[in-house]
Chains A and B, each alone.
Chain A
Amino acid sequence: MTSPAVTLAPEPQEHYLNVDYGVRSWLLTTDHKRVALLYLIGITGAFFLGGFFAVLIRLELLTPQGDLVQAETYNKLFTMHGVIMVFFFLIPSIPAVLGNFLLPLMIGARDVAFPRLNLLSWYIYMAGAAFISTVVVTGGVDTGWTFYTPYSTMSSTTHVIPTALGIFIVGFSSILTGLNFIVTIHRMRAPGLTWFRLPLFVWSLYATSLIQVLGTPVLTIVIALLGVERLLHVGIFDPALGGDPVLFQHLFWFYSHPAVYIMILPGMGVISELVTCFARKNIFGYRFVAFSSLGIAVLGFLVWGHHMFVAGQSVYAAMVFSLLSYLVAIPSAIKVFNWTATLHRGSISYQTPMLYVFGFIGLFTIGGLTGLFLACIGLDIHVTDTYFVVAHFHYIMVGGMVMAYLGGIHYWWPKITGRLYPEGISKLAALVIFLGFNLTFFPQFVLGYLGMPRRYHVYPEEFQVLNVMSTAGASILGIGYLLPMIYLVWSLWYGEIAGPNPWRATGLEWQTPSPPPRDNFTATPIVTTGPYEYSRPRGAHG
């Protein structure tokens, strides 16, 4: 019996981490792998800052009274939590860290198409983050991450403009990354790497990049209009000045709903890589999974109105948006079924990345199915703007996207650092995160149907037990997230040497040493097969 896809490259003497040293070699690098690590530092900081605010929110909600922080502070906490998590963690996380690191490796290229632009996008990200950090230090902002007008333009007395500027700026980093990836995927593929031989992670990055390039400018424009109204009192959204407050919501969600798919599509791509590797099987329904990414990207642009079913839009608009929202659910269902079918007659190992795959599929399924409740206009009236919505999107973004991100980080950690993470404690952390997550967010579905509105600092006493459960879950979840932070750093010095391909995976990124050399490959690879050649052809005897 031969083992496919095991290549034994010699342990490298020189790789991208030790090719040169010093602060300048990092801050002026054009190596996509180093840019990815710069992003990793940025988004990890954002994740723990946003998480810190979440902890304070949950502590306040332990009791029905507003006793830990004042109402102003509470409103700032959930606003900063949302702004930081959405714009500075969820959107850049997988594309800018894993995507940057892996895309050139996966397609057999030396780098992305525009390496300098890639570095610039990190500087833009950090400039946006600097604005937000200033806001955090100088007193915060209280509009909610959605910035609904006319509250944000005419009523709030907090730092709306610096926050808006931070988001305005960080949008350009997202656009540049998307542009870079699209050109890279079109122009830089290794010989023989046809579109249908691309790893599904690359397909999902392509779909994501399309949304980033086409959607983000609309956010940039609406943020600019918000600034113009707030600073110059030009009537755009405030009816007192002749504006239309619902117009803001249309423009905001035209970007911010597709942005949900910027967050989840790359996660879906990661899951396709992981599930094939740890089931040691070819993906079930490659074309269906690939095209469902594009389907989600296109349909995702047509469903923004489902955030506004009770906002005063017309009955017929609501009906159209409801129908389209149901259509966008179908490609996600196709993916879940294909991943599950991939397990059938596989050779399944329970290493940490696979535990995250199981967690992702389960939680994403619940997140997706509860999305059907919100797309249902007769039902959405009751559950919109309640904790039901909060629970739903945390199942997608934290249960789905963060699970995929952590699974991906563990899977590619040996490639990034050359070291293996410690398996035992990693499995424990994955379990703690899964349990903590469900205890935090499942009670919120019940709270939402009971009618507890979101963004409430003070709430009626009968909601307390469920809130206590949620806070208990959040503390478990918090510990779960600190564990990888600790043992992954530990593994940089004490982790086992990984070798080029510890998982016996098939992707091109595993056919080069770990960590890869500065230019990724010693010789340009020539591709002759599809991405998931784990299985022997049917009927062949091994």
Chain B
Amino acid sequence: MWGLPLFPPQASTLAPQVDALFFFLVGVSVFFSLLIAGLIVYFAIRYHRRSEDEVTEAVHEPMALELTWTMVPFGLAMVMYVWGASVFFTAVRPPPDALDVYVVGKQWMWKFQHTEGQREINDLHVPLGRSVRLTMTSEDVIHSFFVPAFRVKQDVLPGRYTTTWFNATKPGTYHLFCAEYCGTVHSGMIGHVVVMEPTQYESWLGTGAVEGSLASAGEKLFQDLACNTCHTGDAQARGPNLRGLLGRSVALEGGGTIIADETYIRESVLDPRAKIVAGFQPIMPTYQGLVTEEQLLSLVAYLKSLAGPTS
């Protein structure tokens, strides 16, 4: 209890990049703080008022000095900006081969679904050395997924998907916090990320009663909700062919195109008339209230598992 930690564990590929940036800013800050404090102390002593009637000599600011202390901070700020932006790009762009994990936040717990079908609450098991992409949504208010050891944080919003990713570099158990205030038990909406050696992870995947992959659960739901009666995949079907949909550009009725992402799929299930695919009638009923956020994510996983149309 009386240990005094000063620095968080460094357990992801991103962490050293963020820390290097951090130490650069700490260096600049310490330099300027000491400069200002040193000058103040020096001037305060050197020019201490010696008599009540002391009079000073007027000084007018040399333009060169004003420009110097405007441009030097500006230059340093731009270095911070560019460096920060480049780390940010790494932090927000998951690599294409990342392992997918689906996350649902609710007051006050974290629910995780693995593509292989495992489900967890508040604990997340991940393999070492493999990029993991999280697709996240909330059932109620805004939460935020925060793992300090990975230097990763992303708000989790109701009504849309946000993503983040990490690649763990050290086996261990790390704090998972909710970082956006979400009500009474906000500080209890915590858990752990358990980083395992790949072999251990494989055997962990084999434990527990798992009824098939997440995509197969999505496929079953697809049939149970009778989605397949219209989205048959035929050219004459009443609904568009969903094969290879994710990431594809979709032409919309009334002009315009969008890239079909996870949020678009979610919207099309819950509010089908929001964006109608060109050439189709607005006949699909809403599934609002009939599917949970977790089921929606299984549908997303199922659609992702469908390869592109064979031409």
Contact = CB atoms under 8 A, between A and B. Distances in A.
A289 to B, nearest CB: 10
A449 B8 contact: yes
B58 A378 contact: no
Given A375-B81, A449-B22, 5 more contacts: A155-B141, A326-B77, A344-B43, A465-B2, A538-B59
Majority DSSP secondary structure for residues of B touching A: mixed
A245 B88 contact: no
Interface in B253-308: none
B65 interface: yes
Nearest to A281: B56
Nearest to B157: A312
A280 B57 contact: no
B252 interface: no
Contact of A246 (B87, B151, B157): B157
B181 A455 contact: yes
Contacts of A466: 4
Contact of B180 (A148, A282, A375, A536): A148
A386 B8 CA distance: 13
B115 to A, nearest CB: 24
A240 B140 CA distance: 9
Given A326-B77, A386-B179, A535-B58, A379 B155 contact: no
A495 B20 CA distance: 55
A502 B1 CA distance: 54
A329 B2 contact: no
Contacts of A329: 73, 77
A288 B43 contact: no
B57 A536 contact: yes
A29 interface: no
Interface stretch (B24-32, B122-130, B197-205, B237-245): B24-32
Given A312-B157, A323-B81, A456-B187, A385 B22 contact: no
Interface residues on A, range: 35 or more
A318 to B, nearest CB: 7
A337 B25 contact: no
B183 interface: yes
Interface string A120-155: 000000000000000000000010100010110011
B47 A372 contact: no
A150 B158 contact: yes
A340 B43 contact: yes
Interface stretch (A39-47, A363-371, A476-484): A363-371
A385 B187 contact: no
Given A330-B73, A365-B36, A385-B180, A542 B148 contact: no
Chain A to chain B: the 3 pairs with minimum beta-carbon distance, closest first: A451-B148, A239-B159, A378-B87
A453 B69 contact: no
Contact of A71 (B3, B141, B184): B184
B182 interface: yes
B111 interface: no
A323 B88 CA distance: 13
B144 interface: yes
A379 B87 contact: yes
Contact of B85 (A279, A373, A378, A385): A378
Given A381-B18, A385-B146, A386-B179, A344 B59 contact: yes
Contact of A312 (B58, B59, B155, B177): B155
B56 A346 contact: yes
A322 interface: yes
B80 A280 contact: no
B84 A378 contact: yes
A334 B88 contact: no
Contacts of B32: 365, 369
B248 to A, nearest CB: 21
A369 B28 contact: yes
A284 B59 contact: yes
A375 to B, nearest CB: 8
B160 A312 contact: yes
A372 B29 contact: yes
A155 B138 CA distance: 13
A292 B92 CA distance: 35
Contacts of B39: 340, 343
Contact of B65 (A315, A341, A358, A380): A341
A452 B229 CA distance: 50
B153 interface: yes
